[in-house]
């Protein structure tokens, strides 16, 4: 069975959905990693028997130093893929040159790359919105797109919009993980 590590920073709804859908069925989630000691996802992972390693970025003086530690730890896990599920850190080439990773982003890339994508997508004049899974490269949210799903947002309030984003993410992310592992 192929092995993955999941990186997250907050709520962990994608983390939970990935574990629920894939763990010990089609992949082994060997570990979760968070940069945030208060991340709600830590408890969620625990519920499914997945341990979380906390690597607090505030304890490092530069992005490179943090990434060096992260890469070393991921290397020690011998995983086939790192899956970024709401991991809110910009990664340097120290990470992107060495770790095979995919990320979920709450917009139809290449639109709304980077921070605050959810609000920017919601407030845009576009009638559609969506989510993307992409390969992680040094350009933020700039890697090859693996999967996308879109929906009509024209009549939505922000709460409904957010729910639709999460529903789309939960639908496409597990499938994208399997697709990348098999290719
Ligand atoms: C998700 O919507 C994900 O697309 C987004 O953070 C949320 C995490 O939710 N990621 C980014 O914005 C990355 N730039 P979750 O913790 O409930 O999975």
Phi, psi for 87 (deg, rounded to 5): -95, 110
Two tokens, residue 38: 């208060």
Average pLDDT, 10 consecutive residues per value, the chain (183 residues): 98 98 97 98 98 98 98 98 98 98 98 98 98 98 98 97 98 98 95
CB contact set of 11 (below 8 Å; sequence gap of 6+)? 39, 40, 41, 86
How close is the Cα of 11 to the center of ligand 1, in Å?
A: 8
**2-182: CATH number:** 3.40.50.170
Task: Identify the pLDDT of residue 32.
Answer: 98
| Protein residues whose CB sits closer than 6 Å to any atom of ligand 1 | 8, 10-15, 85-86, 104-106, 117, 165, 169
Task: Report the run of H or E that residue 165 belongs to, with start and end.
Answer: helix 158-182
Domain coordinates in residue numbering, the chain = 2-182
Torsion of CA 149, 110, 90, 179, to 10 degrees: 40
Q: What confidence tens digit (pLDDT) does each residue in 25-47 have?
A: 999 999 999 999 999 999 999 99
Distance CA 102, CA 37 (A): 23
Looking from the CA of residue 17, the nearest atom of ligand 1 is 18
Tell me: cis bond preceding 157? Omega within 30 of 0 counts: no
The two beta strands, 128-135 and 101-105, are: antiparallel
Distance CA 163, CA 74 (A): 31
Contact 51, 32 (CB under 8 A): yes
Task: Identify the pLDDT of residue 78.
Answer: 98
Q: Whose CA is nearest to atom 1 of ligand 1?
A: 86
CB atoms within 10 A of CB 75: 11
Distance CA 18, CA 3 (A): 13
Task: Identify the pLDDT of residue 62.
Answer: 97
């Amino acid at each position: 069975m192929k092995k993955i590590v999941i990186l997250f920073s907050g709520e962990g709804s994608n983390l939970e959905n990935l574990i629920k859908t894939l763990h010990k069925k089609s992949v082994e989630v060997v570990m979760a990693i968070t940069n945030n000691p208060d991340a709600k996802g830590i408890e969620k992972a625990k519920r499914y028997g997945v341990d979380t390693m906390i690597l607090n970025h505030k304890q490092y003086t530069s992005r490179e130093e943090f990434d060096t530690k992260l890469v070393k730890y991921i290397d020690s896990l011998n995983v086939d893929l790192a899956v970024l599920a709401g991991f809110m850190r910009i990664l340097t080439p120290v990470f992107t040159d060495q770790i095979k990773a995919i990320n979920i982003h709450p917009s139809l890339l290449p639109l709304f790359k980077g921070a605050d994508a959810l609000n920017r997508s919601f407030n845009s004049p576009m009638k559609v919105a969506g989510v993307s899974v992409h390969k992680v490269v040094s350009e933020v949210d700039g890697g090859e797109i693996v999967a996308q799903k879109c929906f009509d947002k024209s009549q939505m309030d922000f709460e409904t919009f957010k729910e639709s984003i999460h529903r789309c993410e939960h639908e496409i992310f597990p499938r994208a993980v399997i697709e990348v592992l098999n290719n």
